[in-house]
Amino acid sequence: MHKVNALPADDPSCGWFRTSRHRQPAPAATGDIKTRWAIIGAGLTGLAAARQLAKNFPSDQIVLIEAQEVGYGTAGRNAGFAIDLPHDIGAKDYVGDPQVAKMILKLNRTGQSIMRQTVEENKIECQMRACGKYQAAIEPKGIAVLEAYQRGLEKIGEGSELIEGKDLPDHIGTSFYRRALYTPSTILIQPSAMVKGMADTLPSNVTLYENTAIRGVEYGEKITLFHKQGRIVTDKLILANNGFGQNFGIDRLKHTMIPLFLYGSLTRQLTEEEQKRLGGKPYWGVIPGSPYGSTVRRTVDNRILIRNSFSFNPNGRPKADCLDRFIKNHRRSFLRRFPMLENVEFEHSWSGYLAMSRNHEGYFGQFAPNVYGALCCNGLGITRGTATGTLLADWLAGQRNDLIDMLLASPGPNKLPPEPFLSIGVNATLMWDGYRAGLES
Ligand SMILES: Cc1cc2nc3c(=O)[nH]c(=O)nc-3n(C[C@H](O)[C@H](O)[C@H](O)COP(=O)(O)OP(=O)(O)OC[C@H]3O[C@@H](n4cnc5c(N)ncnc54)[C@H](O)[C@@H]3O)c2cc1C
């Protein structure tokens, strides 16, 4: 048996989880369970794969296994930007090869439309708003990014609007930024509310087990998954557990995904008087010019989200001292942008695991006999995970199309350098890029 030596254990204070509908989690797995299909991980990828597999194989039983509660892991603790546009930070104009960029756009739009359809058909309350996003900058470097990106977007026929700093308060209340690039096609969501709703409306041939961490796996003609209270024997296994997939004893996946932790804080709800003082539109989302700057949102229920700061946590678990330290960064970033709200305190602060690869590629397809998966979303997993989970289920049902072909042709993430070089390299990059983000942090 291969022992799984890294399990998720997110901190308990995620604002999206706490402020969304309380739900009764599905029971944990017990005893011996036999199934045709088992999916590990009920994040965006696993939920999408389960839904589509159930549709493609209506007479098969599908088991979806989640170590924590649905909505409690990364899928429920991100910033909630369902982004379609490609943003290749390795290219001068952030778009790069137009043919590749158009395919990424098509993949992400597929994810957006599946997400939208699932939310609408199942009447999931998750503050979903197709309100676009502002990429906003204050530092000269960030401004240059906006201008280059606008040129890149033109190349693929995507419209955007540059908004000068003096006009930004009408949009987002704050006069902090010098310029912003508005793109209309991003959808904002309350991420935990959305995945909770998706879990509660799965087709009837999917059985969800929550609070069931897979701790060991035995590969063979049938695959046996071991958890605290029993075993699950499956004909086919799908790994949808993001960076944790690299601990499942499959050579190709080992030591390829960087466990980065990101940090977020959510304020209490603003009073009516505070909303007036803030001004601007009733809800919006801002991403930074510099990738290491702050993501900021005004939510539909009138809270402000700040997301910034990174840490490298090799065991995939949160570090309490980092969260305490980074809440201070959140406060500083909040006050810089919203001096008019200085008495508004944070109600929730949390961290979340993001799987990054060095070459920004993800995994899709077959990993071993009867083992498949879609892993490593590189920070844009809301749309990408939804699309790749669905397309994986289609491919397993024998379908092919240009998106599936593109995903299958990807070389996947490349190997990471050995320790201690990996830690030294990642920590130095985080420190240097964090410093370079300047006021945008
Ligand atoms: C703070 C933060 C902000 C972000 N902002 C955005 C954003 O605005 N837009 C965007 O698109 N993306 C964003 N992301 C990234 C996004 O959340 C991820 O890319 C996305 O959640 C990936 O989805 P997934 O289903 O592939 O993996 P995950 O959401 O990580 O789900 C994998 C699941 O597998 C479970 N699991 C792992 N191991 C086991 C095991 N052994 N047994 C059982 N279950 C297991 C985990 O508990 C987890 O729930 C952000 C991430 C963070 C941390």
User: How confident is the model over 44-77, as pLDDT tens digits?
Assistant: 999 999 999 999 999 999 999 999 999 999 999 9
pLDDT of residue 94: 86
Ligand 1, atom 2, residue with closest C-alpha? 78
Q: How many C-beta atoms surround the C-beta of residue 161 within 10 A? A: 12
- From the CA of 243, how far away is ligand 1's center (Å)? 9
Site to substitute for ligand 1 among 52, 74, 229, 353, most atoms within 8 A of C-beta: 74
pLDDT of residue 344: 98
Q: What is the pTM assigned to this prediction?
A: 0.97
Pocket of ligand 1 (CB under 6 A): 4, 7-8, 40-46, 65-68, 73-75, 77-81, 83, 213-214, 240-242, 244, 262, 264, 307, 352-354, 377, 379-383, 385
**Low-confidence residues in the chain, pLDDT < 50:** none
pLDDT of residue 10: 97
pLDDT of residue 303: 98
pLDDT of residue 231: 98
pLDDT of residue 247: 96
Ligand 1, atom 32, residue with closest C-alpha? 241
User: How confident is the model over 3-19, as pLDDT tens digits?
Assistant: 999 999 999 999 999 99
